Amino acid sequence: MGLFNRNNKTKKNKGTAEGQNLVVPAHIAIIPDGNRRWAKERMLPVAAGHKEGAEVFRRMVRHAESLGVKYITFYAFSTENWKREASEVETLMKLLLNFLVNSEKELGKDKDKIRIKVIGDRTRLSEDLQREIARVEKETENNTAITANMAINYGGRDELTNGVREIAEKVKNGELNPEEITEDTVESHLYTAGTPDPDLLIRTSGEERISNYLLWQLAYTEFYFTEKNWPDFNKHDLEEAIKAYSNRHRRFGGA
């Protein structure tokens, strides 16, 4: 039967296995940390770590969908990552472009299940990358099994600043009154507009901070940290994180 039984879910997205009720998060956010560390430990070039991390990304999206997760958001490239060595930035951009160019092959049998979306400021990305992002988003927009958000040139403060600027412009143009601004107004001007906030955040490689990631969206998210580097993260680890989440009592700000 396996740990998660998709056929026994309730409206609250609960799966039952081996007599235990497990709550499957609707949305999982991931900070896939440790690619460089993984490569260094094996005396491999940094590029090898990022390539292996990309493979894990593909496997985790597929496995998350099989468990009933509806959204999964990866921190693929932050606004701060531009400060890294030029060769490493080039490697990351090539990996992202290669995935998008070959998306039908990369997604394989799941090509009609997975919706790909990119969140972040695209203006600094190459024309080739921007073009492929637009193409893949359009081609997968009707896929409903799972949405895989790729945060590229993303920063939480940048996102909020951009959203505030858009709202201020509407106020300036008389399209919006200041007293009409609500949390929903702010949410609708974020890169993640229309996507529910993450239920669970997973960060690998032993780091325990959010690193300017989804600052607004993580307000009531449960955090799960693991010592494993991202290239070593596997299906069992994802299930363990979900099991830990199932045992949390979410209060959403209450006592």
Give the separation between CA 236 and CA 52, rounded to whole angstroms: 17
- 235 Rama sector, left if φ>0, alpha if ψ -120 to 50, beta otherwise: alpha
CA distances from 144 to 69, 113, 237, 248 (A): 11, 6, 25, 28
171-225, pLDDT tens digit by residue?
A: 999 999 999 999 999 999 999 999 999 999 999 999 999 999 999 999 999 999 9
Checking if the pLDDT of 7 tops 80, the result is no
Would you say residue 23 has pLDDT above 60? Answer: yes
Whether 109 has a pLDDT exceeding 90, the answer reads no
Question: Is the pLDDT confidence value at 14 over 50?
Answer: no
Task: Answer yes or no: is pLDDT of 136 > 60.
Answer: yes
Asked whether the predicted pLDDT for residue 251 surpasses 80, the reply is: no
Residue 46 three-state SS: helix
pLDDT in tens, 215-245: 999 999 999 999 999 999 999 999 999 999 9
What mean pLDDT comes out for the span 78-104? Answer: 94
19 pLDDT higher than 50: no
Calculated CA dihedral for residues 41, 206, 154, 232, nearest 10 degrees: 50
The residue among 236 and 253 whose pLDDT is bigger is 236
Q: What is the mean pLDDT of residues 127-148?
A: 97
Which pLDDT value is given to residue 13? 47
Q: Where are the alpha helices (DSSP H) in the chain?
A: 35-41, 46-67, 86-101, 103-107, 127-140, 156-172, 183-187, 235-246
Q: Taking 90 as the threshold, does the pLDDT of residue 18 lie above it?
A: no
pLDDT value, residue 250: 73
What is this structure's pTM? Answer: 0.90
Cβ atoms of 65 and 145 closer than 8 Å: yes
User: Which is higher by pLDDT, 87 or 109?
Assistant: 87
- The confidence band for 255, taking pLDDT boundaries of 50, 70 and 90, is low
- Residue 5 has a pLDDT of 45
Catalytic residues: 33, 81
The total number of residues shown for the chain amounts to: 255
